[in-house]
Structure 1
Amino acid sequence: MSKQPTLHSFASTEDLKASLSTYIVSAQNTALAKHNVFRVAVSGGSLPAMLSDLLKNPEIKWDKWEIFFADERIVPLDHEDSNYGLLKNVLLDKIEGTKPVVHTINPDLEPSECAEDYQDILIKSFAAGDSVKFPVFDLILLGMGPDGHTCSLFPGHELLREEYAWVASIEDSPKPPPKRITLTLPVVNHASKIAFVGTGASKNEVLKQVFGSGAEVLPVGLVNMGAGDRVTWFCDVAATEGVPGFPQRKGSKA
């Protein structure tokens, strides 16, 4: 039986941010020891704001980072819906000294072309002359919607059945804007480490399902089951109240 994900619950947002920062530093150092680069994929939503403690952590080596996007809305990069724009405003613009390498989409392309173009970027970074089935990110940082979606992988959507592509396009996102690209489920599940950040009572019912019964119908549940002990959850008390097996579950910080 595969080992289970770790679920942390924090009494305050400040404690969550500090613990997440420590976790990211550990993932960074493991990656740098392996291949002298830290390849991380980031989603949007409320997640970027949770990364602010990285700015005051002296162990972060920004010059070794390559940042990709776990999903992106096909809008201009300075649009309010752009995940890149959000990360730029809350994190990237505040980094002093050498900035990380950041791989953005080409928003001028149609969705299918945009996905293909972004996949080519991944191939150049991860394959580099070698044939690999899927890229292996050192870390993927993800949020979770109240409906159980993550990246731009939505419950019941046909993209959940994709088995070969690294990046896929979606033109009918249930949540606006409708046109997006996203890492596919196999790519997410191949990552060395995956961190979910979920806070607030709106995430409570989803977490109960993810750690209870019916997880297989939710994208977040498919990641939780597929990646096992490579998944770590950073949540607050409101999100974890009544979650099966918690707070006895390893990692409680509340």
Structure 2
Amino acid sequence: MTVAPPQKTAPTVHVFADKTALVAAAADQVIELMRDAIASRGRCSLALSGGSTPKPIYQAIAQADLPWDKIYVYWGDERYVPATHADSNAKMTYEAWLSHVAIPADNIFPVPTDTDSPQTTADQYQQTLASSFGTTLPDTPQFDIILLGMGDDGHTASLFPHTAALNETERWITVGQKDEQPRITFTARLINQARQVMFLVAGASKQAALSQVFAADADSATYPSRLIAPKGELRWLLDADASHGLPTTVERTVHQLTP
């Protein structure tokens, strides 16, 4: 499978002393971006990621003083499991954040995993985005903020190495695969339309993949995070352990712990 990388934008890279500092900074930055979007456009559309790193960020956002009725929440990927399942990204987010704030139910758009097939779910979620954003193909919805993680293998959202989802250039939502388990995922096309994309990456296990994602020449089918090059701003927030995988040529801002 050959996947052509997009035209790369110049990301900003921020390195924090440890995961705790990364989480605190990410929460502050996301809250600031949410406020900026509301001030500029009267609302904020935010696509969330799953995993362990974002959970404390969501818990911190839940403590913020925000106009919740102007915030619209979506998920960049989801496992094809019931909403009550322990592996559900939406379940984690409700428990950490959404059930603790006065956000209208109509502003929350979980992936509908109670369908007869993953493809049906992908079709329904794409229609949800079309209705919510008032956008139809060939145009693409533009999210204010998309949060992403990166796996040890270089995947992001549910865009896994050497899977068919990487070659999807027409749809906004598609079916990804991990170990023959279906996932519902944003496509690179949809992610790359966003105003702000923020990667949150922690741990020494990410070093090898980061070295290839930031390499001048590497295979995007093997390291799918290389496909992310949004029209807007791209931020990478790393802890020190993960950052050791960056090539020495990559410019970065190192944030020291406050004494």
Whether TM-score is above 0.5 comes out as yes
Which residue in 2 is equivalent to 1:91? 97
Aligned positions of 1:1-254 closer than 5 A: 3-51=9-57, 52-58=59-65, 60-95=66-101, 97-99=102-104, 101-109=107-115, 110-127=117-134, 133-170=139-176, 173-175=177-179, 178-212=181-215, 213-214=217-218, 216-217=220-221, 218-223=223-228, 226-227=229-230, 230-245=233-248, 249-254=251-256
The structure-2 alpha-carbon separation of the partners of 1:229 and 1:253, relative to structure 1 and needing over 3 Å to count, comes to: farther
The TM-score, its normalising length taken from structure 1, stands at 0.88
Task: Identify unmatched segments of 5+ residues in structure 2.
Answer: 1-6
Task: Name segments (4+ residues, structure 1) moved above 3 Å.
Answer: 97-100
- CA offsets, 1:108-164, max 9 Å, x none? 211111111011110011126x76611110000011110011111111112111111
Counterpart contact for 1:136–1:192, Cα < 8 Å? yes
The structure-2 alpha-carbon separation of the partners of 1:214 and 1:91, relative to structure 1 and needing over 3 Å to count, comes to: same
Task: After TM superposition, give the deviation of residue 167 of structure 1 in Å.
Answer: 0.7
Task: After TM superposition, give the deviation of residue 11 of structure 1 in Å.
Answer: 1.0
> Which letter does structure 2 place at the counterpart of 1:219?
P
The TM-score, its normalising length taken from structure 2, stands at 0.86
Task: State the aligned residue count.
Answer: 245
Task: After TM superposition, give the deviation of residue 23 of structure 1 in Å.
Answer: 1.4
SS at match of 2:123: helix
The structure-2 alpha-carbon separation of the partners of 1:165 and 1:98, relative to structure 1 and needing over 3 Å to count, comes to: closer
Whole-Å Cα distance in 2 between the matches of residues 32 and 237 of structure 1?
A: 32
Whole-Å Cα distance in 2 between the matches of residues 155 and 147 of structure 1?
A: 7
Q: Cα RMSD between the aligned structures?
A: 2.2
Task: Identify unmatched segments of 5+ residues in structure 1.
Answer: none
